[in-house]
Amino acid sequence: MKRLLLTTAIATTAALALTACGTTEPAADDAKKSAEPITLTDSTGEKVELDGPAKKVVGTEWNVVEHLITLGVDPVGVADVKGYKTWDTAVPLKNEPKDIGTRGEPSVETVASLKPDLIVATTDLPPAAVKQLRKVAPVLTLKAADAADPIGRMNADLDAIAKATGTTQKSEELKKQFQAKLDEGKKKLADAGLAGTKYAFADGYVMSNQVSIRPYTSGSLIGAVNEKLGLKNAWTVKGDPAYGLGATDVEGLTKLGDVQFAYVGNDGDASSTPFTGVLAKDKVWTSLPFVKKGNVHRLPDGIWMFGGPQSMSKYVDSVVTALTK
């Protein structure tokens, strides 16, 4: 034990001696920029002050990353890049951003080393981490979701990011396009005689012969889009106050009755596709009226259910195609 301790001490000292006394950066630098300063208030009531439109931006959640890309600002840092590439192909990354760690615990140090002008975070991040990030750069903390007004929330987040990055024109454009997409989708569905169709969207996970299903209630972003399309949300389950997501099991689907059922899975994640896997043999599932009639639709992978206008536009297209097929 003693020898071990001694060896460790010597090794540590040696390692330190070898790396000693250099520095990794020149002494303090103060580069001044000259642009119109921007001030805005974020969802936590905090004032965010910028010297000018932010160019080097870091995003800690996938929805804000999607907002950034659609606004034409390629983020320099993204949490869980691999996950984003798997789950959000509707709005692919155009550059090679630095991975800043997990969405729940992004590395403050890596963010600092990117020297960003702006960090866009959500209220899902621990307040302690936000507090530290504020020392690195201005942090725009947005509410990731609000079941009281999901689309309003999405637009407000988009606007806030647009204001901070000087791309307000683009965000107005995006919102108009999205509204047009909604109107177009609604018209197509109505033309096909599908207005007021009872419709249920979900995703599901399977683990050890147990299937859990997540209903997207009208408080979810997708649920709100469905209603704009003139579809009737068939879920009676109560969703959580932020994301509007509920929880149920296969039995719980019997309460849906005769509906159109749609889901998003992911080929890159085997546990996320129970509807074609385990449930294919499940008697409760196969005797559901909408399953019998073949009214189960798998929408394309890569639509991020909590994303921005682009993901939602792709969703609208997919639903319209699936239902009018």
Partner 1 sequence: MAVTATTPATRPPTATSRTGAAPVTAALVLLVAGLALVDITQGTAAVGAPEVWKAFTGQADPADASVVIASRLPRMTAGLLVGAVLGMAGAALQAVSRNVLASPDTLAVNAGSYFALGLTAAFGLSLPLLASSAFAFAGGLAAAAVVLVLSGLGAGTVRLVLAGSALTLGLTAVTEGLLLLFPRQTEGLYQWNQGSISQSGFDGVLQMAPIAVVGLVGLLLLARRVDALALGDDAARGVGVPVRATRITAVVLAALLSTAAVTLAGPVGYVGLCAPALVRPLARTFRGFTKSRGFLPAAGLTGAALVLGSDVLLRALVPSDVVVSVPTGVVTSLVGAVFLIVMATRVRDTTGAAATEQLRIRSRARFLTVTAVLVAVAIGVTVAGVLLGDSKLLLGDIVNWVQGQAGRTVTFVLDTRVPRVLAALFAGAALALAGTVVQAVTRNPLAEPSILGISGGAALSAVLLVTTVPMAGSWGMAGAAFAGAVVSSVLVFGLAARGGFQQNRLVLVGFGVATAAAALISLLIILTDPFNATKALTWLSGSTYGRSMPDVVPLVAVLAVGAAVAFARRTELDLVSLDEDTPRLLGLGLGRARLGFLALAVLLTATAVAAAGTIGFVGLVAPHAARALVGRQHARVVPVAVLLGAVLVCAADLVGRTVIAPAQLGAGLMTAVIGTPYFLYLLVRSRG
Write out the binding residues for partner 1, residues 149-168 only, by CB under 8 A. none
**Which helix (H) or strand (E) element contains residue 45?**
none
Distances (CA, A) of 144 to 57, 121, 196, 264: 17, 9, 29, 20
* Residue closer to partner 1 (CB basis): 20 or 34: 20
Radius of gyration of the chain (CA): 24
Q: How far is the CB of 58 from partner 1 (least distance, A)?
A: 12
Q: How far apart are CA 148 and CA 142, in angstroms?
A: 15
Q: Is 177 in the site for partner 1 (CB under 8 A)?
A: no
Please report whether residue 22 would count as binding partner 1 according to CB under 8 A: yes
Contact with partner 1 (CB under 8 A) among 39, 41, 169, 210: 210
Q: Which amino acid is at 117?
A: D
User: How many angstroms separate the CA atoms of 151 and 158, rounded?
Assistant: 11
Asked whether position 189 contacts partner 1 by CB under 8 A, the answer is: no
Distance of CA 106 to the CA centre of its chain: 15
Residue listed under structure tokens 């750069």: 137
Residue 154 beta carbon to partner 1: minimum distance, rounded to whole angstroms: 18
Which residue stretch of 172-180, 225-233, 266-274, 313-321 sits at the interface with partner 1 (rule: CB under 8 A)?
266-274
CB of 195 to partner 1, least distance (A): 27
- Out of 149, 183, 191, 249, the residue judged to bind partner 1 by CB under 8 A: 249
Q: Taken in order 179, 185, 188, 192, is the CA torsion positive or negative? A: negative
**Strand (E) or helix (H) holding 61:** none
Q: How far is the CB of 295 from partner 1 (least distance, A)?
A: 15
Helix extents (H) in the chain: 2-19, 62-70, 81-87, 108-113, 127-136, 150-165, 168-191, 221-228, 283-286, 289-292, 309-324
Would you count residue 52 as binding partner 1 (CB under 8 A)?
no
Please identify which residue in 74, 240, 301, 317 interacts with partner 1, judged by CB under 8 A.
240
**Residue among 142 and 250 whose Cβ is closer to partner 1:** 250
Contact with partner 1 (CB under 8 A): which of 35, 52, 96, 115? 115
Cite the beta strand spans of 188-255 per DSSP E: 198-207, 210-215, 232-233
Task: Pick between residue 305 and residue 316 the one whose CB is nearest to partner 1.
Answer: 305
Is there binding between residue 254 and partner 1 (CB under 8 A)?
A: yes
310: helix, strand or coil: helix
Q: Which of 51, 198, 205, 218 binds partner 1 (CB under 8 A)?
A: 205
288: contact with partner 1 by CB under 8 A: yes
Asked if 299 touches partner 1 (CB under 8 A), the answer is: no
Q: Which stretch binds partner 1 (CB under 8 A): 61-69, 166-174, 209-217, 223-231?
A: 209-217
Q: What's the distance, CA 306 to chain centroid? A: 5
Q: Shortest distance, CB of residue 216 to partner 1, whole angstroms?
A: 12
- Here's the x/- map for partner 1, 71-110, by CB under 8 A: it reads as ------------x--x------------xxxxxxxxxxxx
Alpha-carbon dihedral sign for residues 93, 99, 105, 108: negative
In this structure, the dihedral spanned by the alpha carbons of residues 300, 305, 309 and 311, taken in order and rounded to 10 degrees, is -20
Size of the site for partner 1 (CB under 8 A): 84
Q: Does 19 bind partner 1 (CB under 8 A)?
A: yes
